[in-house]
Structure 1
């Protein structure tokens, strides 16, 4: 049994790794990025590596629910490929001149793709566009699917519109109809959104230095994180919801990942822990990525001081692993592995058998 924090797979390559994905059976790890290659590797013993040349930089990857296919956001198109052979099953261009930033699968196998300005629902069998949801003014900064695949949440940066004013919104749309169900409008651009496990609530953070919870159905705010006693600006930039619906984690430019109570927004813990023996001005790099393990007991963060951390909900760290600059981070479905894409390759960190499930 390996210790938590052991690097189980190190995938070096030329260029950055911007997209990563685990297969549903937790045995394979897919990577893509700036070197125009899609790679699928076995984490332990398994099939030999698969390497496929693509037409552009890979910005998004997702395995189908049964693991037999993989969706690839490849420059301006979406490709559906056989995950064992790499054979292209179809190619779905979305909007000329707009790069595809994200691909996801719904539980029933539909492919969801996002550019800066639109969401497309694609048929898995043919790649035909079944629905388009456009965003005006752009830019779509982040997306999240509800667990049942019926709703999509959008983080929108409206500073990129014609008026160039500080503005943004978090929106929820019904994927079957495209209709907007709820909308929350903070005082500035929204950076990130995340659904709660039952799809009724959405967490968001924005450039007005706020973290808010709102109802998906009507956009009504449930809570806003209480102001810090010392008026410190935490500049939240990334977030995630605990799969059990008890906690949320929010990463800030001040270098901390904070665990918040999902019902109230009150802080439970933060990582990294301050060391009482260190100088009072000790500081950490801004947190760029956060994620919750599937069991809800641990969260992970990546920061620009080139460190990936795994910690409990009270902030107690299980490990710190040095990395290059992190561009993508994701837990495997069973929580055993933490995948990290960096500026110079990718790695899979072993969280230990005791921490999976």
Structure 2
């Protein structure tokens, strides 16, 4: 077995690799982005697969049985055979609007979003099951519950502009389109994540807060202190990415202050952070954290930052490895935790976690 932190696979692209996905059995890795080719590679030995792309792949997902790939590619959604690349079906969600995210539910339905629409589609045929238009969009982030029954939405009503008083975190029931809960922080919501049982939602907002709320009803359970617009405040973290531990004990939140903070899911109390600094250490030159993820065993988390470092660490912040990369555009663990996938400009990487990610 390779040393943890070893790059096990490099996939070259003629553009950015901003979308990645692992197959359910963790043996295959798909990547795509601004280039003209979607690539599927075996992590180990296997026949490579290349499929044409329109050059704007923003999201990829394997079906629950691994036989199909859903690909959000510019204004179209493609479902392809993951073994041959053949198109099973394709079509736009809304003509003239880009498809931003795509997920498979456990029963094989496809859930896809644009800036203003959540669509549920039959995975085999592409037939529309349900369409839900979001009032005063934009949808800046989503999470699908494990059972595929609920979707959480991060809403930024003035994407790219003034974020004040301009957003919410919402939970919708996919079977009916009913809104189950909503939390409205002071400013736009940037990211959301469900707890394992989908009873709670973690979100971070442009008002410098991270908040936990109940999925049904929207009651807030806790929030971090708000440092406002003062970047010199020791409380200023500017959270922008987050993840829930699959075991339900921890959350991890990354911010522009350069730290990935692990917090207790129940209380919001910080348990550790990466990088870990000595008490008397000078303030380091560290880049903003842009991506975070928890391994499926809940024992390790990963972060990527604009200083071009990927870190794997424990919930107390103890680091296992750092890997120097180009700017990271996408990051996710394989389902078995053995691998960490990274999308960058010009290539995608699969990093070996060894036994750290398993168990």
TM-score by length of 1: 0.96
2:68 corresponds in structure 1 to 69
Q: Which position in structure 2 is the counterpart of 1:334?
A: 336
Trace 1:69-148 onto structure 2 (pairs within 5 A): 69-148=68-147
Candidates 265, 268, 271, aligned match of 1:268 = 271
Which residue is 1:304 aligned to?
A: 306
> Alpha carbons of 1:70 and 1:237: their partners in 2 closer, same or farther (altered >3 Å)?
same
Shift of 1:284: 0.8
Structure 2 SS opposite 1:353: helix
Measured at CA, do residues 208 and 238 of structure 1 come closer, stay the same or move farther in structure 2, by a change above 3 Å?
same
TM-score by length of 2: 0.95
Q: Report which stretch shifted further, 119-128 or 332-341.
A: 119-128
Alignment of 1:144-183 (within 5 A): 144-160=143-159, 166-183=165-182
- The equivalent of 2:203 in structure 1 is 204
CA contact (8 A) 1:153 1:172 kept: yes
The 1-side partners of 2:71 and 2:301 are apart by 27
Gapped runs of 5+ residues in structure 2? Answer: 228-232
Residue-by-residue CA offset, 1:196-229 (whole Å, 9 max, x unaligned): 000100000000000000000101101112468x
Mapped to 1, the partners of 2:29 and 2:293 lie a distance apart of 17
Matched, 1:18 2:21: no
CA offsets per residue over residues 303-349 of structure 1, 9 Å max, x none? Answer: 00001000000000000000000000000000000000011210000
**Residue 354 of structure 1: CA displacement?**
4.6
Q: Provide the aligned C-alpha RMSD in A.
A: 1.8
In the alignment, the residues of structure 1 paired with residue 324 and residue 346 of structure 2 have an alpha-carbon distance, to the nearest angstrom, of 13
Q: Which moved more, 1:163-172 or 1:307-316?
A: 163-172
Give, in whole Å, the separation in 2 of the partners of 1:56 and 1:227: 40
CA contact (8 A) 1:137 1:161 kept: no
Report the counterpart of residue 224 of structure 1 in structure 2: 223
Q: How much has 1:80 moved relative to structure 2?
A: 0.6
Once the two structures are superposed, what CA deviation does each residue of 1:245-296 show, in whole Å capped at 9, x if it has no partner?
0000000100000000000000000000125685x13131000000000000
Pairing 1:35–2:35 present:
yes
Shift >6 Å, 4+ stretches: 161-164
Q: In the TM superposition, what whole-angstrom CA distance separates every residue of 1:180-205 from its partner, at most 9, and x where no partner exists?
A: 11000001010000000001000000
- Structure 1 unaligned residues grouped into runs of 5+: none
Q: Does 1:286 align with 2:285?
A: no
Aligned to 1:254: 257
Give 1:25 shift.
0.8
Alignment partner of 2:158: what SS? helix
Match in the other structure for 1:191: 190
Distance 1:219 1:206 in 2: 15
Aligned residue pairs total 355
In 1, the alpha carbon distance for the partners of 2:159 and 2:7 equals 40
